[in-house]
Amino acid sequence: MNNKPRQTLVEGLIDHLRFQRECGDVTVELEPETVAALAACKKKPRTSPPAGKPRADGSATAAPVAPAPGRKPAAAAAALAEIAAAAAACRKCALCRERTTVVPGQGNASSPDVLFIGEAPGAEEDRQGLAFVGRAGQLLTKMIGAMGYTRDEIFIANICKCRPPNNRQPAVDEMAACLPFLKAQIAVIRPRVIVAMGNTAILGLLGSSGITRLRGIWSMFEGIPLMPTYHPAYLLRFPSVKREAWDDLKKVLKRLDRPVPAPDAKTGGEGSAP
């Protein structure tokens, strides 16, 4: 009897449970069929797929991204400060009227492996002037840690630099007004890969919507590979799709030619599981 499909299912479940643990979950509900499959499966050594065999998701055709030569940190920081000052002076849309501060983004500005892009700051981000510091930001930190990074090693930003009133989603014209600032940041930062988080961010960057249809499929933005995935706030509301988000992030690691880190191989810091 061929047990390979069952083995693949169980290995995928184990991988998903590791990611859940990295995101702070301590319990998970399993369907009876899954429990039965786990009980019946005999432990077997992992086998690598044949070299060069294409995968169903087409990831085998996505060549690893070579690091781009970045600016010196001081020069990059100075350029980003100029962009932030221009955003603070912007009056192209109504969001400037009620913001407390602009939230340009933060992180490694010299050719980081990954640039994470959301839609707009929330209330806590508006108070602190930092991107992704609320509950969604805490989950994003754990996701970044599960990939083997800390927040200081990558860059985090939003399309809109100002908070929409009542934490509503930014309108298309508001994102369009702010997009030149993001493009200018990308030109300075020169990330190897972009991860666009959430349906609104996908709409603002690619002009397409439907995150469940677009997630996990590589696209391009400003000449840089872009991976759409769920927003951390969505994952907080619907934890059942964390596995899909983790699958997307593993594709990013593959594109970067980095291994998926084992939980005990992590160095700690911001990315450590609580």
Torsion of CA 145, 147, 150, 154, to 10 degrees: -140
- Per DSSP, what are the bridge partners of residue 158? 118
Distances (CA, A) of 47 to 13, 51, 187: 16, 12, 41
- Per DSSP, what are the bridge partners of residue 196? 117, 228
The pLDDT assigned to 72 comes to: 85
Indicate the CATH number for domain 73-271: 3.40.470.10
Q: 172-189 burial, b if ≥16 CB within 10 A, otherwise e?
A: eebbebbeebbebbbebb
Taking residues 16-31, report their average pLDDT: 51
Q: What is the pLDDT of residues 36-76, one digit of tens each?
A: 555 555 554 444 434 433 333 444 456 666 565 667 889 99
Q: Give CA–CA dist 156/38, Å, rounded.
A: 38
How many C-beta atoms surround the C-beta of residue 108 within 10 A?
22
Q: What is the pLDDT of residues 184-239, one digit of tens each?
A: 999 999 999 999 999 999 999 999 999 999 999 999 999 999 999 999 999 999 99
Q: Give CA–CA dist 242/263, Å, rounded.
A: 17
pLDDT of 33 > 60? The answer is no
Taking residues 262-271, report their average pLDDT: 49
The pLDDT assigned to 73 comes to: 87
Taking residues 6-10, report their average pLDDT: 51
Most confident of 12-21, 22-31, 210-219: 210-219
Residues of the chain with CATH 3.40.470.10: 73-271
The pLDDT assigned to 3 comes to: 58
pLDDT of 99 > 90? The answer is yes
Which secondary structure element, helix H or strand E, spans residue 74, and what is its range?
A: helix 73-88
Taking residues 77-83, report their average pLDDT: 97
**pLDDT mean across residues, the chain:** 82
Length of the chain: 274
Contact 132, 156 (CB under 8 A): yes
The pLDDT assigned to 262 comes to: 83
Phi-psi region of 114 (alpha: psi -120 to 50; beta: other; left: phi over 0): beta
